[in-house]
Chain A
């Protein structure tokens, strides 16, 4: 297994290439089924309105998943998150752009671990989800 990151070249403060997610109601329904989370605020517009939301809202866990995948995609094959903690700061409604960002906050070369802070931003630039993660990288590429 190889990894895309050269830890010796990596510096604290390094920013991950952002990813933008545009959710659809179909994706929220797929997620509801995949996660067994059937709360109606994620797909039932009438119920979401009743609860005071302008539209159906994105599962917090789905936003957390976007961030976890951003980290693992960046770190490359063989990487996995040892720790991952998410705080939900605000809602995102379906279809609105969700910008996923991350930044390196710590590097442990011997353990091949990288600490990250990650967050989602809405179109107004407000952070709606914040997270911290500790990545375990795959084996070093010795070729």
Chain B
């Protein structure tokens, strides 16, 4: 019988998932679900034009497969942390194998069992193309706590450390689409390739869900009564332009709480550094996100 999150031991190797041949349909469905319509993920010609033998499997699709496997291996769990590294491309039609094992087990001070897992995917020649780590916890409902666990929020976003690096190519059509969406006027003449000042929004790994460190705060056992972006700032060295290949590194720089009129406000501030293909700094951005919790309700329930 498969152990679950309450019985599994350190070193337990989960049964492999696969080999499965990734289908083109998987990629098209993922594109539709994610909104990432980058053509080399489903267009053979586009893939070959970039030197790939076949369409490239979406990285976040591979991460999503691994994440869902953890849930099926361990039963009903929370996954407050999940981080993934893409080591090499995978191609549609190749047979992939997804696997994982239990790396460590800890107990939270509230008695939850915390299971740390190492995960991976290999391609048909046995090379690892993805590695990931995740933290799964027993889903025992509300913890007996009445304050926001700020330190654990800080840990969950890897405060101060690079949380993720992503490369985005600024396609001319994407810029035009953005200009149209904001009701702006497309630039013409020598400045036709300049993107709008707010286009950096489209290059934010968190808004794009390429970087998701939200699990921990989303699963906090306090009633959420609101949230959203509190502020955005950008400082450009030069405008973003069509054709730029931009490497974005995200770092959370501040986690703090404030008492607001509607409840306890949890702020998380992240910074993105945008560099071009030559490694030159193009822009730095800051985004402050706020979540409002009704701690009075939480205290009433738990005390």
Whether B13 is near chain A, meaning CB under 8 Å from some CB there, is: no
Chain B residue with Cβ nearest A23? B183
Interface residues of A in 77-92 (CB under 8 A from B): 77-78, 80-88
Q: Which residues of B contact A (CB under 8 A)?
A: 35-36, 174, 177-178, 180-185, 187, 189-191, 194, 196-198, 201-202, 207-209, 225-226, 228-236, 239
Say whether, besides A61-B232, A84-B234, A36 and B202 are in contact (CB < 8 Å): yes
Give every chain A residue within 8 A of B181 (Cβ-Cβ): 27, 30-31, 33-35, 62
Q: How far is the CB of A3 from chain B (nearest CB, A)?
A: 11
Q: Can you list 11 residue pairs at the A/B interface with Cβ under 8 Å?
A: A1-B190, A35-B178, A37-B208, A66-B182, A68-B198, A72-B196, A73-B185, A78-B191, A80-B236, A84-B198, A88-B228
Q: CA–CA, A20 to B273, complex, Å? A: 33
* Contact string against B for A residues 108-143, beta-carbon threshold 8 Å, 1 for contact and 0 otherwise: 000000000000000000000000010000100000
Contact partner of B236 (CB less than 8 A), chosen from A38, A41, A52, A83, is A83
Say whether, besides A1-B190, A33-B177, A72-B197, A81 and B236 are in contact (CB < 8 Å): yes
Say whether, besides A35-B178, A52-B226, A77 and B233 are in contact (CB < 8 Å): no
Q: How far is the CB of B57 from chain A (nearest CB, A)?
A: 19
Say whether, besides A33-B177, A34-B177, A69-B196, A60 and B202 are in contact (CB < 8 Å): no
Docked-complex contact A30 and B180, CB < 8 angstroms: yes
Q: Which residues of A contact B (CB under 8 A)?
A: 1, 21, 27, 30-31, 33-38, 41, 51-52, 60-62, 64-66, 68-69, 71-73, 77-78, 80-88, 133, 138
Docked-complex contact A77 and B201, CB < 8 angstroms: no
